[in-house]
Structures are given as C-alpha cells and as structure tokens.
Amino acid sequence: MERKEKNFLGFTVSIVVGAIVASLCIIQAIFPNEFKAFFIQHSIFFNIMGGFLVFIVAVILGFVTFINGRY
C-alpha cells in the first residue's frame, strides 16, 4: 500500500481566513463607529478589491486542482 502525500491547502486556507475574520471582529469590537465609517467611506474600493480577490482565489484554486489532477 503506497502512502499518499497529504495536501494541507484547505487547512492553511481555513486558518488564514479564520485569522482574518477574528482580527476584523476584534477591531470592530474595539472601534465600532470608526470601523463602520471607514467601510462606508471606502465602499466602492472594497467592492472592487473584494471581487478581484475572489477572482484571484478562484483562479489559484482552479489551477491547484488542475495540477493535482494531472500528477
């Protein structure tokens, strides 16, 4: 029985996303009004950056899945 190499991509991504969400929750708890005002003032920028980041993550995950399927 041959051993398969473990893939830690999902584990790493979940830790990074969890750390980002936790830091945003802490910042919002400390500075609630400033946090909301900052996001309202820069909403167009955050919408564009969010869409761009989702696109980049989808491309990277698709590429990784394609490479893992080939080898």
Span 10-57, pLDDT tens digits:
788 888 888 888 888 888 888 888 878 887 888 888 888 888 888 888
Amino acid of residue 67 = I
Amino acid of residue 56 = I
Residue identified by tokens 């309202």 is 40
pLDDT at 3: 60
Q: Is 31 helix (H, G, I), strand (E, B) or coil?
A: coil
Q: Is 34 helix (H, G, I), strand (E, B) or coil?
A: helix
Structure-block tokens of residue 22: 């936790």
